[in-house]
Amino acid sequence: MASDPTTCYDRLLHRGLALPQVPAPIGNFVHCVREGDLLFLSGQGPVNACGELMTGKVGATVSAEQAYDHAKLVGLNLLSVLHQELGDLGRVRRIVKLLGMVNATPDFAEHPRVINGCSDLFVDILGDAGRHSRSAVGVGSLPGNITVEIEAVVAVQD
């Protein structure tokens, strides 16, 4: 059996994943603020390879499985922001905290399962540095009717 690729970029390539372009902010904010060795990443939404936002209400028009994939897209977008800010994902010391919001019906109860799309990606690509604390909540709506929004706090090394 071949060994697992050694860098996060190798792992992305090995899994057929690519970092998308970082979109322009949709409001009066920046994607990332650094304070000391912490980066605070603004919430990102699920944008596919064609630049389309994934929209809908989880538990009604979008399944938990589809929303999991949307959260994985958000994870790729967050990694893109990190790459743009740091120039090298190898500088990520640890994903400290995620806040995942799911645009869900009132009776939907699988928010953690959805946000696992992002969490699983971070651990797969970043290894132990991708393990984090997390909150996963349901909300009544999200901007543009996107299915998932996730923000992150990241510890970095110079």
Q: What is the pLDDT of residues 93-135, one digit of tens each?
A: 999 999 999 999 999 999 999 999 999 999 999 999 999 999 9
- Residue 137 tokens, joined: 């909540």
- Taking only Cα atoms into account, the Rg of the chain, rounded to an integer number of angstroms, comes to 15
CATH number at residue 116: 3.30.1330.40
| Tokens representing residue 148 in the block | 């998932």
Helix H, strand E, coil C: the string for 16-68 is: CCCCCCCCCCCCCCCCEEEECCEEEEEEECCECCCCCECECCECCCECHHHHH
What pLDDT band is residue 2 in, cutting at 50, 70 and 90? very low
Asked, for residue 10, whether it belongs to a domain, the answer is: no
The Cα 78–Cα 80 span in angstroms is 5
pTM of this structure: 0.94
Domain that holds residue 123: 31-156
| pLDDT, position 4 | 56
Domain tally, the chain: 1
Residue 143 lies in a domain: yes
